A and B are shown apart, each in its own frame.
Chain A
Amino acid sequence: MRELRSTIVTLLVATIALGLLYPLAMTALGGALFGDRAGGSLIERDGEVVGSRLLGQSFAGDDDYFQSRPSVTGYAADATAFSNLGPNSRRLANQISARADRYLAREGSYASGLTRSRIPPDAVMSSGSGVDPQISLANASIQANRIAAVRGLPLDEVERLIDEHTANRQLGLLGEPGVNVLELNLALDQEDGG
């Protein structure tokens, strides 16, 4: 029927115009205007890609680095997934509890007066993307004690670095403040070894 012909023509035109021309044009324009932001905001050290400004990484086991939020995907940035554990999930309760134990074990000896109820939720609950680059200011402040002690830096020096790598709310209102863990750790390395 005649609607069929119109349909096929429309789908063909749309596939080419909206499916190829539009994204290709946006790729060219975006790259020209915003450079590496369109390409993933990758960070390079010595010619190697060490990560992205926008993506979190694992620093587990390294006591001289700030630790990222828990991730259920092992910080995979090519297979993102949620934990999907419900609010009444016993499995989740056990997970959070275990993470809280590890947090206290790691930070307790450096941060005086740290108890379970003082642990900020972002430190023990998994992020949405599994590659959340940030932690809360409270989390960073607690960890600052350990970093200062392990790396032999004055505490206010560490706190200054935290401040430098804190992204505040945009326009003073949008979103929540957070500390970029990768950038902070890179800055620490530079400070120390550089």
Chain B
Amino acid sequence: MTIQGWLQIALFCAVLTALVPLLGAYMARVYSGERTWLTPLMAPLERGFLRLIGSRGAVEQDWKSYGLAVLVFSFCSLVLLYSILRTQGIQPFNPEGFGPVPWDVSFNAAASFVTNTNWQFYAGESTLGYFAQMTGLAVQNFLSAAVGMSVLIAVTRGIVSRGGESLGNFWVDLVRSVLYVLLPISILGALVLISQGAVQSLGGYVEAATLAGGDQGIALGPAASQIAIKQLGTNGGGFFGVNSAMPFENPTGLSNFVQLLFILLIPAALTATYGRMVGNRRHGWALYGVMLALFLVGVVTTYGGESAATPAQADAGIEASADGSHSTGGNLEGKEQRFGIASSSLWSVATTAASNGSVNSSLDSYSGLGAMAPLVNMLTGEVIFGGVGSGLYGMLMMVLLTVFIAGLMVGRTPEYLGKKIGAREIKLVLVGTLTVPLLVLGLTALAVSVPAGKESIFNPGPQGFTETLYAYGSQANNNGSAFAGFTGFVQPNAPGNAGSYGLAFADLLGGVAMLLGRFVPLIAALAIAGSLAGKRIAPPGPGTLRVDSGTFSGLLVFVIVVVAALTFFPALLLGPITQALTERLF
């Protein structure tokens, strides 16, 4: 651990915190229909789109209509993306001539991108042509992000509604998310990335005659434009197989910093948006503070863990001490020189806090302690920033749980922002917060007990168990990062799809995990909002728990940590904890 490492982490936190109120305020104005500086440009496009949609864009939707629109939209997106992946053979912009992706891998990938997960059993540059990446994957990067943000805004409206069941209109929220937020910032981000060297080209792959007399096939592609929205929309699916470790995706320290910012930017800023929309900005800051605190705990443990030698490294006699600018030291297996230990650790924690899932280093090679925070981040339910929109509505369910427990402790009816929280709301909270952990535990247990499930495992010993737990934890929580040794797609003749086949068990189980993990909490959140929308707001009394105080923040952290710990401690014991405690090699 070096001074420069800590300074980078501090700079990152400072810049993020400075941007949160700025972007948060802007988004609050966008979703409330107020005028912003982009309005002159985007308003005509927005009106044009809504005219195409017709009357569906004008109605006020209650939680059921909003939810139905989301589900229909997502299902059709799934079918569309699946079709694009299966028809690669006949598509333009496919200079390498990749054929159709196997049906089970296509299902997994389609479910993955529609649910904002971006779990990839495949490697982009050896499987997909540019057309599929642009029109299939990148489009879902925008749309799944917009869905998450829209649902959060709908939930917010339900919470503050003073009578009337309307949560807004899904189509309006969707187009505003894209036109005013996702697209402009992506364009900016893409240009910054290209300036650093990220590729943005439609040419075919190049054959280079290397200096030492060999040859090297160099893949290209319209990557930068996709990477910008991949990070901004907490999607995470890389253009190339090794994601942001590839120099063509992430060439410099600056491109790395910008991508890191994009990973957390919208989830963090939405806390400020939420605070403004509910008329309690300090509550928004309290939520941000809780997320940041839990995030930093993860950063410290991972940075510490990766700065030491792993058992394998120590066994081979290699030291891990850093040496100023001369050597990064640490566990460099699967890491890039230009990122070293600090930036790689910061990224790994940010990406799993935010349900993003992109990586700039190999998670499967992280030490037991280093991998703990990324894994636990996901297992807390992706509420530490979380996905765009989905992270905050997930966090709000934890807030309701906290308010409920606090109410029980003092013997008063729990209330949140003036509305009484009753049995119906708490039942929905339980559905929203327990479905995903149950999926994770159940599917992991299933996958490690049947031969079909074990086929995907790469590393022997407890690492293999961790790979599986990580895989289903990641997919059910819609994160998308992986211990990439865990496989669901075998390509014997990479690059290309000739002779390749999927491992149906892993593909199908993963796809189901992602779909249920996304839409069950989503619908539960909308139902809670619908239930709260009709309630009267009572003025705060002496028994009200203030939601903008240190007590509340502390209690919220406690609830998040205890729920995750009680659920997952036995599973963690079998994998990463065992590995962190033993020097034994497997």
A88 touches which of B310, B320, B337 (Cβ 8 Å): B310
Q: Beyond the given A78-B217, A85-B364, could you list 12 further A-B residue pairs with CB under 8 A, ordered by the A residue number?
A: A2-B56, A9-B52, A10-B73, A22-B183, A40-B248, A54-B247, A57-B216, A79-B219, A82-B364, A86-B579, A87-B331, A176-B253
Residues of A close to B11: CB separation below 8 A: 173
Instruction: Please tell me if the beta carbons of B191 and A30 are within 8 angstroms of each other in the complex.
Output: yes
Instruction: Please tell me if the beta carbons of B311 and A88 are within 8 angstroms of each other in the complex.
Output: yes
For residues 197 through 255 of chain B, which have their beta carbon under 8 Å from a beta carbon of chain A? 197, 199-203, 205-212, 214, 216-220, 222, 224-226, 240-242, 245-248, 251-254
Residues of B close to A109: CB separation below 8 A: none
Closest A residue to B124 using CB positions: A80
**How far apart are B374's CB and chain A's nearest CB, in angstroms?**
14
A129 touches which of B136, B214, B247, B312 (Cβ 8 Å): B247
Closest B residue to A101 using CB positions: B316
Instruction: Please tell me if the beta carbons of A33 and B191 are within 8 angstroms of each other in the complex.
Output: yes
For residues 120 through 140 of chain B, which have their beta carbon under 8 Å from a beta carbon of chain A? 123, 125-126, 134-136, 138-139
B80 at the A interface (CB under 8 A): yes
Closest 3 CB pairs of A and B: A175-B253, A19-B135, A84-B485
**How far apart are A76's CB and chain B's nearest CB, in angstroms?**
6
B290 at the A interface (CB under 8 A): no
B317 touches which of A57, A116, A128 (Cβ 8 Å): A116
Residues of B close to A120: CB separation below 8 A: 323, 326-327, 329
Instruction: Please tell me if the beta carbons of B329 and A121 are within 8 angstroms of each other in the complex.
Output: yes
- Hey, what's the 0/1 contact readout for A123-167 against B, CB within 8 Å counting as 1? 011111111111111110100000000000000000000000001
Given contacts A79-B126, A84-B459, contact A176 B142 (CB under 8 A): no
- Hey, what's the 0/1 contact readout for A63-86 against B, CB within 8 Å counting as 1? 001000100000111111111111
Residues of B close to A86: CB separation below 8 A: 312, 364-365, 459, 461, 463, 466, 485, 579, 586
B318 at the A interface (CB under 8 A): yes
Given contacts A77-B219, A78-B125, A119-B318, contact A7 B364 (CB under 8 A): no
A contact residues vs B (CB 8 Å cutoff): 1-11, 13-15, 18-20, 22-24, 26-27, 29-31, 33-34, 37-42, 48-55, 57-62, 65, 69, 75-90, 92-94, 96-97, 100, 116-122, 124-139, 141, 167-171, 173-178, 182, 185-186, 189
Given contacts A54-B197, A89-B585, A121-B318, contact A130 B242 (CB under 8 A): yes
Residues of B close to A79: CB separation below 8 A: 123, 125-126, 217, 219, 241, 494-495
Closest A residue to B217 using CB positions: A78
**How far apart are B117's CB and chain A's nearest CB, in angstroms?**
19
Distance of A78 Cα from B458 Cα, bound (Å): 22
Given contacts A49-B206, A87-B331, contact A54 B248 (CB under 8 A): yes
Given contacts A60-B212, A100-B317, contact A27 B362 (CB under 8 A): no
Given contacts A20-B134, A85-B364, A126-B333, contact A186 B4 (CB under 8 A): no
Ordered by A's residue number, 18 sampled pairs between the chains whose C-beta atoms are within 8 Å are: A2-B56, A10-B174, A15-B139, A19-B136, A23-B225, A26-B194, A30-B194, A40-B199, A42-B206, A77-B217, A80-B242, A86-B579, A88-B582, A125-B333, A132-B337, A137-B325, A170-B254, A176-B337
Residues of B close to A118: CB separation below 8 A: 319
B289 at the A interface (CB under 8 A): no
Residues of B close to A128: CB separation below 8 A: 242, 245, 334-336, 360-362
Instruction: Please tell me if the beta carbons of B195 and A88 are within 8 angstroms of each other in the complex.
Output: no
B332 at the A interface (CB under 8 A): yes
Instruction: Please tell me if the beta carbons of A50 and B195 are within 8 angstroms of each other in the complex.
Output: no
Residues of B close to A39: CB separation below 8 A: 199, 201, 203, 220
- Hey, what's the 0/1 contact readout for B177-190 against A, CB within 8 Å counting as 1? 01000010011001
Instruction: Please tell me if the beta carbons of A18 and B183 are within 8 angstroms of each other in the complex.
Output: yes
B55 touches which of A2, A76, A124 (Cβ 8 Å): A2
Closest A residue to B257 using CB positions: A174
Given contacts A19-B135, A82-B362, A116-B318, contact A88 B247 (CB under 8 A): no
Instruction: Please tell me if the beta carbons of B76 and A8 are within 8 angstroms of each other in the complex.
Output: yes
Residues of A close to B138: CB separation below 8 A: 18-19, 22-23
**Stretch of B338-346, B411-419, B504-512, B524-532 contacting A (4+ beta carbons < 8 Å):** B338-346
B contact residues vs A (CB 8 Å cutoff): 4, 7-8, 11, 49, 52-57, 68-69, 72-73, 76-77, 80, 123, 125-126, 134-136, 138-139, 142-143, 171, 174, 178, 183, 186-187, 190-191, 194-197, 199-203, 205-212, 214, 216-220, 222, 224-226, 240-242, 245-248, 251-254, 256-257, 310-313, 315-320, 323, 325-340, 342-343, 360-362, 364-368, 370, 458-463, 466, 483-485, 494-495, 579, 582, 584-586
Closest A residue to B344 using CB positions: A128
Instruction: Please tell me if the beta carbons of A178 and B338 are within 8 angstroms of each other in the complex.
Output: yes
Residues of B close to A133: CB separation below 8 A: 247
Distance of A127 Cα from B246 Cα, bound (Å): 10
Instruction: Please tell me if the beta carbons of A18 and B328 are within 8 angstroms of each other in the complex.
Output: no
Given contacts A18-B142, A37-B194, contact A57 B313 (CB under 8 A): no
Instruction: Please tell me if the beta carbons of A85 and B459 are within 8 angstroms of each other in the complex.
Output: yes
Residues of A close to B216: CB separation below 8 A: 51, 55, 57, 75-77
Closest A residue to B242 using CB positions: A80
Given contacts A42-B218, A173-B7, A182-B211, contact A122 B241 (CB under 8 A): no
Instruction: Please tell me if the beta carbons of B459 and A37 are within 8 angstroms of each other in the complex.
Output: no
Residues of B close to A41: CB separation below 8 A: 197, 251
Distance of A18 Cα from B72 Cα, bound (Å): 20
Given contacts A6-B53, A82-B242, contact A51 B211 (CB under 8 A): yes
Residues of B close to A26: CB separation below 8 A: 187, 190-191, 194, 200, 222, 224-225
**How far apart are B8's CB and chain A's nearest CB, in angstroms?**
6
Residues of A close to B208: CB separation below 8 A: 42, 49-52
Distance of A80 Cα from B360 Cα, bound (Å): 13
Closest B residue to A169 using CB positions: B253
Distance of A189 Cα from B213 Cα, bound (Å): 14
Closest B residue to A29 using CB positions: B191
**How far apart are B359's CB and chain A's nearest CB, in angstroms?**
8
Instruction: Please tell me if the beta carbons of B201 and A131 are within 8 angstroms of each other in the complex.
Output: no
